[in-house]
Structures are given as structure tokens and as C-alpha cells.
Amino acid sequence: LDEPTNGLDPSGIHEIRELIKNMPRQYGITVLVSSHLLGEVEQMADKVGIIREGRMVFQDTIDNLVSTASSGFRLSVSEPEAAFGLALDLGCEGVLRNQMLELESMQDAKIAQLVKRLVENQHAVYRVEEQRRSLEDIFMQIVGEGSRV
């Protein structure tokens, strides 16, 4: 199917998306979708292939692709300047922006260690958010900004 949701109203888009997601289960078939609307692809596909200049440059499940695409963490804490200093002391990389710690991607054990250290040092941890890149961001990284696809 080439751009199967093109020109449809929101209700039609939803119906087509559900149909595409359910057909493999119901009928034991594979549905091949070609689309530049990567947000739509992310909502209806289990696997994705990325073609660059006529060659398949990536093929895997969307879950695997997105799970490796964490761009970091944002933390909302009390006394962010002091908390950022503790993060740097632990070897975390990032910036303090708008009173939020924006840290580069790290292993779960390291983020747990950071939260523990913050709490031990009397910092309230209000929120820890993993920042994930969209399928579009990942696509641009794989094929390059100016590449023909």
C-alpha cells in the first residue's frame, strides 16, 4: 500500500490504521506499506525497513529501533543547580536548561544511582522522563539530512 492514509479524514485514517494493524493477525498475511509519514508508520507497523538510494540500510522491529534510540533523560528536582553538580560528579553528561537537568543517555543502573544520590543529598526528585527520539529523528540519522531516499 502506497501512502494508505493520504487524503483521508481523521476517522478514515483511524479505520485504515486499525485495518492494517489487524490484517496480519486475522489473515496471516504481511502488509507492506510505503509512506513518508513516519508518525503514521510508527502507529501501524511492527517492522520497518529504511531504503536509501535503492538499498535497504535498516530493517528491524520498531520496538528494537526505538528502544535503542533514547536521547537522554530530563529530571525535575529541587535545587537544580546543586543537583546538576551531583550529576556531573557521578560522570553524567548534559546541561541545566530551564531549571531541568537534561542528561545524555545512560544505563538504567546509572540513572538509579543518580536518583539515589540526589535523595541522599536531600533533593526532592519530582520527575524523571526518558526522552525518546521519534521515528523521523532516527530516520534522518540513518539516511542523513540531505540524502535522497
Mean of the per-residue pLDDT values for the chain? Answer: 89
- Whether residue 2 contacts residue 34, with contact meaning beta carbons closer than 8 Å, is answered with yes
> Scanning the structure block, which residue is given the C-alpha cell 530530563?
74
* Higher-pLDDT residue of 73, 140: 73
Write the pLDDT tens digit of every residue in 56-83: 988 999 888 776 666 789 999 999 999 9
- Alpha helix locations (H) across the chain? 10-27, 38-44, 62-67, 80-89, 108-120, 135-143
- Whether residue 84 contacts residue 147, with contact meaning beta carbons closer than 8 Å, is answered with no
Residues 6+ apart with CB under 8 A from 35: 2, 3, 4, 5, 41
Write the pLDDT tens digit of every residue in 105-128: 888 899 999 999 999 999 999 999
Helices H / strands E in the chain, number of each: 6, 6
> Scanning the structure block, which residue is given the C-alpha cell 492494517?
20
Q: Give how many domains the chain has, as a whole number.
A: 2
CATH number at residue 90: 3.30.70.100
Q: What φ, ψ does residue 57 adopt, rounded to 5°?
A: -105, -10
Highest mean pLDDT among 7-21, 39-53, 66-80: 7-21
Write the pLDDT tens digit of every residue in 85-106: 999 999 999 999 999 999 988 8
Same domain, 16 and 44: yes
Q: What is the pTM of this model?
A: 0.58
Nearest to 20 by CA among 61, 34, 134: 34
Task: Read off the pLDDT band of 149 (50, 70, 90).
Answer: very low
Domain contains 85: yes
Range of the domain at 86: 71-132
Same domain, 90 and 115: yes
Same domain, 35 and 82: no
Task: Judge whether residue 148 has pLDDT over 70.
Answer: no
Same domain, 108 and 124: yes
